[in-house]
Structure 1
Amino acid sequence: MYLDPHSVTRVTSLGAGPIGGGWAAHFLARGYDVTAYIHDESERAAFDAIVDTAWISLETLGLDAGASRARLTVTTDLEMALDGAQFVQESAPERLEIKQTLYARMGELLPENIVIGSSTSGLTMTEIQAGCQTPARCVIGHPFNPPYLLPLVEIVGGKQTDPAAVAWAGAFYEAAGKAPLIMKKEIPGFVATRLQEALWREALHMVAAGEATPEDIDIALINGPAPRMVVQGQCMAFHVACGAGGMATNLDQFGPALKWPWTRLDAPELTQELRDRMVDGCNSIAGDRDFEDMAADRDAKIVAVLNALRQSG
């Protein structure tokens, strides 16, 4: 029913924001023909700036054969954007009514064998596909930001999704140079975002309690677990940390510590004071650097890490 995922040459990316623009840049760098749909021509300058920024890093990482900015078409006409698409990556605003309307329209315009992947980070596919007349081919394909650099894509279907569409999406994203994670079931926040949010809640609690500043927290992460997590996730980091006994030793020795009152997993009350502490702390870290400079610096360092991993095998 579905195309051979390795035969796809034409991708449509919907959305003009950092995720939509980032996806467009990623697919261009992998040698696809890309049609990008933006809602209004006023979004074009911001979209182009995202692709321009991404392209610097993508060229440093190395472009696939045939990759070219000339293979990008940008349009405000949804029907034109979907014409001839062999895969669609949807990155519309995170509002359920917008996505449901969009999927209902795509159900009318796209052949049933064309898979649609949603970049949503907070909605479920069961909700999104509710008004689509062809829901079986609709999946979540949730990236990490920036999607043109970070490989992860979390994939899961909704209640009406064909399992074959989920498997197809996994194969396609892998062919497109991503690291797909096919999830076992729909859960709020997927996998990586839930882990990230747990860390974020702990950070907010420490700032609220006066235990650490935003700068303290980022120093601790950058110089502590972050470098290790590039090569080992949390589970394997603890498995290897305990020597030959592995995770069994870890849990047997440190299991009681799980009950110690270190963590505060409930979300803190976002008071005006906490809000101001976070904003002031982050503005202090940023100094006089603007968004473009900080994003470029971030991307260059991620590229260096990715290239180092490649060289190390």
Structure 2
Amino acid sequence: MEYAQTACLGGGVIGASWAALFLASGRSVAMFDPDPQVEKHVRDYIRTAWPTMTELGLTEHGNPDAIRFCTTAAQAVEGADFIQENVPERLPIKHATFAEIEPALKPGAIIASSASGLTLSQMQGGWSDPARFVLGHPFNPPHLIPLVEVLGNDRTDPAALSGAENFYTAIGKVTIRLHKEKNGHVANRLQAAIWREAISLVVEGVASVEDVDKAVWAGPGLRWAAMGPTMLFNLGAGEGGLKAFCDHFADTFNGWWDDLGQVRLNDEVAGILIEGVNEEAHGENHAELSARRDALITAMQKAMAGLR
């Protein structure tokens, strides 16, 4: 099995989710996190995630116990073929971690960072030789959401970039390759744009938090789960395709874009959203909402399996 021995640095929600997926694929995992409670947290997370991954057909070759917990980051990466880094998104912490593990790396190992708020070039400053270091940014939770955004640059070994893509594909992920750095990468920027307008509609009193959320999941969100917006609009004008759609709707979209809201996420706005989302929860607690989210995602993934 290619890249059979893996490591996860950081055992928070993202790191635990990655570890669960790596284990499900039949790989071993070495985990490091300085939190003394990390082993309990990660094992509990894996135990909870395993039935869902089994339902998705991801655990046929997996062993949830093929994980060991290490006392240092350097110890965790020894012998590892693929390392997923998930430490806090503060550059000094990233750089210190990279400086510690670099001398302990197996030749040819690939190191991928889950970072969402830092750029690859910023993080490369922590390496003497960043050739085997790539961005491998997931969407939360990684064991359920297929997307991984992969990025290298002129300091990256092309074999590390293609190797990361091959590894992610082998464990059931869907990768996109970024051709240049952009703060927030691709998916987070799309998400941020939608959320900004969602907040604006609430703040302007157009609709409640619950109804704006409902407008997404019961409307375009359902289509977006099948295809992206540009391809959907290509289909929206019939045989005329995207050219006919643009010819017909250019003025409409230009008018909407000119009118999109400009909001800031300050204390007042956050308070409005918190009140709205608490009403939307209808008494369900965090664990119940998370379980419902995961069940819905699982059902959608199963329904789409084999159709792409």
1:160 alignment counterpart: 155
1:218 equivalent among 213, 222, 233 = 213
Separation (CA, whole Å) in 1 of partners of 2:272 and 2:132: 45
TM-score, structure 2 normalization: 0.94
Separation (CA, whole Å) in 1 of partners of 2:200 and 2:222: 24
2:286 equivalent among 280, 283, 291 = 291
Q: Label 1:265 to 1:45 Cα distance change in 2 as closer, same or farther (>3 A).
A: farther
How far does residue 262 in structure 1 lie from its aligned partner after superposition?
5.1
Which amino acid letter does the alignment assign opposite residue 186 of structure 1?
A: E
- Over the aligned positions, Cα root-mean-square deviation in angstroms equals 1.7
2:169 alignment counterpart: 174
Q: SS where residue 248 of structure 2 aligns? A: helix
1:30 alignment counterpart: 25
TM-score, structure 1 normalization: 0.93
- Unmatched runs of 5 consecutive residues or more in structure 2: none
1:108 equivalent among 88, 103, 125 = 103
How far does residue 146 in structure 1 lie from its aligned partner after superposition?
0.8
Share of identical aligned residues, percent? Answer: 38
How far does residue 48 in structure 1 lie from its aligned partner after superposition?
2.7
Which amino acid letter does the alignment assign opposite residue 135 of structure 1?
A: P
Which amino acid letter does the alignment assign opposite residue 190 of structure 1?
A: H
Separation (CA, whole Å) in 1 of partners of 2:234 and 2:132: 39
How far does residue 268 in structure 1 lie from its aligned partner after superposition?
1.0
Aligned length: 308
Separation (CA, whole Å) in 1 of partners of 2:266 and 2:75: 47
How far does residue 312 in structure 1 lie from its aligned partner after superposition?
4.5
Separation (CA, whole Å) in 1 of partners of 2:258 and 2:275: 24
1:255 alignment counterpart: 250
Separation (CA, whole Å) in 2 of partners of 1:116 and 1:265: 40
Separation (CA, whole Å) in 2 of partners of 1:77 and 1:179: 31
Instruction: Render the CA deviation track for 1:141-170: whole Å, top value 9, x for unaligned.
Output: 000111001111000024522222212211
Separation (CA, whole Å) in 2 of partners of 1:41 and 1:210: 46
Separation (CA, whole Å) in 1 of partners of 2:30 and 2:40: 16
Separation (CA, whole Å) in 2 of partners of 1:104 and 1:71: 27
Which amino acid letter does the alignment assign opposite residue 55 of structure 2?
A: T
Matches within 5 A, 1:70-85: 70-85=65-80
Residues 9 and 15 in structure 2, CA contact (< 8 A), matched pair in contact too: yes
Which amino acid letter does the alignment assign opposite residue 170 of structure 2?
A: A
Q: Label 1:264 to 1:167 Cα distance change in 2 as closer, same or farther (>3 A).
A: farther
Matches within 5 A, 1:74-223: 74-223=69-218
Q: Label 1:186 to 1:112 Cα distance change in 2 as closer, same or farther (>3 A).
A: farther
Q: SS where residue 131 of structure 1 aligns? A: coil
Instruction: Render the CA deviation track for 1:28-79: whole Å, top value 9, x for unaligned.
Output: 1111111121222223333233222211211211234430112111223222
2:9 alignment counterpart: 14
Which amino acid letter does the alignment assign opposite residue 121 of structure 1?
A: S
Which amino acid letter does the alignment assign opposite residue 38 of structure 2?
A: E
How far does residue 264 in structure 1 lie from its aligned partner after superposition?
5.6
Separation (CA, whole Å) in 2 of partners of 1:291 and 1:43: 20
Separation (CA, whole Å) in 2 of partners of 1:227 and 1:248: 24
Residue 61 of structure 2 is aligned to residue 66 of structure 1: yes
Which amino acid letter does the alignment assign opposite residue 69 of structure 2?
A: V
Residues 73 and 100 in structure 2, CA contact (< 8 A), matched pair in contact too: no
1:270 alignment counterpart: 265
Q: Which moved more, 1:105-114 or 1:256-265?
A: 256-265
Residues 202 and 264 in structure 1, CA contact (< 8 A), matched pair in contact too: no
Q: SS where residue 16 of structure 1 aligns? A: coil
Instruction: Render the CA deviation track for 1:226-285: whole Å, top value 9, x for unaligned.
Output: 111111110111010110001001111111123214566675123433111100111111
Separation (CA, whole Å) in 2 of partners of 1:131 and 1:311: 41
1:304 alignment counterpart: 299
Residue 53 of structure 2 is aligned to residue 40 of structure 1: no
